[in-house]
Amino acid sequence: MKPGASSLRVRLPVFVFAVEVVILGLFATFVAYDDHGDARFQTNETKAMDNAVYKDYPFFADIQVMIFLGFGCLLAFFRLYGFGGMVFNFLVATFSIQWAILVQGYFQFSHDGKIQLGVINLINAEFACAVVLISFGAVLGKTSPLQLLVMALLEVPVFAVTEWAVLKYLKINDAGGSILIHLFACYFGLAVTFVLYRPRLNEGHAKETTSYQSDILCMMGTLFLWVFWPSFNSALTLKGDDQHRAILHTFIGLCASTLTAFALSALLNKNGKLSMADIQNVTLAGGVTVGASVDMMISPAAAYALGMVGCIACMLGYKYLSPVLAQRFRIQDQCGIHNLHGLTGLISSAAGIYAIMVAKEEVYGPSMYDTFRHRAPKEGDPKLLELQALIPGLQPGLGRSAREQALFQVAAIFSTIAAAAIGGVLTGIVLKIPYLSSPSDDLCFDDKLYFVVPQDSYSPLKQNKDTHKEETVA
């Protein structure tokens, strides 16, 4: 038995059981059903079809597919680390969702000392889980399952506090999570991998290769993510036309980035051949680049252009930026999350700011103050009464101008990146504790350290020259 596996025989079960006991106690003490799940609030006049489950569960189910199948298959691209990529994704995801229900619930869904649990809470928890899984991509194959659980344990509260502070005090528009999900996850993960830097891995690793079967499995993950990304971007948007636009823009952006990815892959690779790493990753860029403006009236053409621009930035990042980050800045971004989530997240954030600056009532009509609710007139403003006559239920806003809202968006970008980077550095320091059973350089990217594997899984290794290590998944 390998030393790392031997140490985990006690440490991993002890950690998991201890965490389960704590979570059980917290659920018993603080978690209750929300109004749509509590039988006491149902009367003879209650219409079952008005229950929130019918509006929210389809989106929850789609995001479930992305979290467990999409990310799981996507992270199984290493030839000898398919078990680790898929199974540790399963482990970390289930833990992160449970933990996020409690931590996010405290900040966003707590009433009278109880966390009100409903399907909408689960959707929010899965977004927090997605943050952890994106960050996981930066350290894939270089960390033990115990390290990954500790990383999730620390990242979820940092994310929840950042999300709560940005939404409560800066009050931004970020329907698709380009700022609070993609940028946070990216820079948290990069900060962690910066602290866990392994100089020997810059020289290449014999096990850091793919296979025909692992690339097909990874491609399945890409397809799951591609198909269900419109649900991810639209799940928390306003029901109705905003959500409708979010679905349309995401699909259009993904189509544009996919076609562009094929063209660039043939153009930039030797002999005009396609690279599976490009198809597995860069095709998804459009889903991120439309995120910050996904529910706005940006036009279908703009969504298409964003998909193309995001794809180009993502592809160039894989080809040219990732090697520089590894060699000169100690950032070994194993899955290229900086390209798929960082660069595209910044482009998306800039596009969202521009869309806010040019938003006018002539384009949106009175519903502009639903989409940009912080620009709605303040309580007592005569214009508010006029708008409420046109849009029943419109809530008072902050009376912000387009310029003021744009400045708050900029502040959110910088504060989110700063919080993620600081949290990631501190988390990386914790993960270096020897007790957490970090694998040695020689045993990275190898399932044999943690799993019982089939006898025929370890055939002699040959370097895959068509796959460069920085072009892995995110």
With contact defined as beta carbons under 8 Å apart, do 277 and 314 qualify?
no
What are the tens digits of pLDDT across the range 287-324? 999 999 999 999 999 999 999 999 999 999 999 999 99
**Confidence band for 461, pLDDT divided at 50, 70 and 90:** low
Residue environment code for 205-234, b if the CB has 16+ CB neighbours within 10 A, otherwise e: bebbbbbeebbebbbbbbebbbebbbbbbb
Residues 6+ apart with CB under 8 A from 242: 175, 295, 370, 371
Q: What is the 3-state secondary structure (H, E, C) of 329-340?
A: CCCCCCCCHHHH
What's the half-sphere exposure (Cβ side, CA atoms, 13 Å) at 448?
15
Task: Provide the pLDDT confidence category of residue 392 given band limits of 50, 70 and 90.
Answer: confident
C-alpha separations of 21 from 17, 31, 214, 264 in Å: 6, 15, 37, 51
Report the pLDDT value the prediction gives residue 432, as an integer from 0 to 100. 96
Note down the domain range covering 125: 3-39+53-358+401-454
Query: What pLDDT score does 43 carry?
Result: 84
Taking only Cα atoms into account, the Rg of the chain, rounded to an integer number of angstroms, comes to 23
Q: What is the pLDDT of residue 458?
A: 64
Q: Does some domain include residue 390?
A: no
More confident residue, 123 or 455: 123
**If you average pLDDT over residues 166-193, what whole number do you get?**
97
pLDDT band at 116 (very low <50, low <70, confident <90, very high): very high
Which of 38-42, 141-145, 151-155 is predicted least confidently?
Answer: 38-42
Residue 214 is predicted with a pLDDT of 95
Confirm whether 388 is domain-assigned.
no
* Strand 31-33 with 110-111, pairing: unpaired
- Is residue 428 predicted with pLDDT exceeding 70? yes
pLDDT digits (tens, 9 = 90+) for 209-220: 999 999 999 999
Q: Does some domain include residue 196?
A: yes
Nearest to 352 by CA among 438, 445, 233: 233
Burial 251-289 (b: 16+ CB within 10 A, else e): bbbbbbbbbbbeebbeeebeeeeebbbbbbbbbbbbbbb
Number of structural domains found in the chain: 1
Give per-residue pLDDT as tens, 42-71: 887 888 888 999 999 999 999 999 999 999
The reported pLDDT for the residue numbered 460 is: 53
Asked if residue 332 is part of any domain, the answer here is yes
Question: Residue 466 — very low, low, confident or very high, per pLDDT cuts 50/70/90?
Answer: very low
CATH number at residue 232: 1.10.3430.10
pLDDT tens digits, 347-362: 999 999 999 999 999 9
Which parts of 166-284 fold into alpha helices (H)? 184-195, 212-234, 241-268, 276-281
235 has a pLDDT exceeding 50 = yes
CA–CA separation, 432 and 409 (whole Å): 35
Report pLDDT for 463: 47
* CA 129 – CA 188 distance, rounded (Å): 13
473, pLDDT greater than 50:
no
Closest CA to 408 of 455, 374, 445, 438: 374
Average pLDDT value for residue range 136-154:
97
Q: Sign of torsion, CA 418 128 220 76?
A: positive
In this predicted model, what pLDDT tens digit does every residue of 126-136 receive, in sequence order?
999 999 999 99
Which range among 228-237, 339-348, 385-394 shows the weakest confidence by mean pLDDT?
A: 385-394
For residue 137, tell me if it sits in a domain.
Answer: yes
201 in a structural domain: yes
pLDDT given for residue 4 in this prediction: 59
Residues constituting the chain: 474
Q: Answer yes or no: is 135 within a domain.
A: yes
Kindly report whether the global pTM for this prediction surpasses the value 0.85. yes
- At 7 the pLDDT is 80
Q: What is the pLDDT of residues 245-296, one digit of tens each?
A: 999 999 999 999 999 999 999 999 988 999 999 999 999 999 999 999 999 9
- Is the pLDDT score of 161 beyond 80? yes
Reported as a pLDDT band with limits 50, 70 and 90, residue 103 is very high
Mean pLDDT of the 231-252 span: 97
pLDDT of residue 393: 85
Q: Output the average pLDDT for the chain.
A: 93
- For residue 3, is pLDDT > 70? no
Please report the pLDDT score of residue 238 as a whole number.
Answer: 93
Using an 8 Å Cβ cutoff, are 474 and 339 in contact? yes
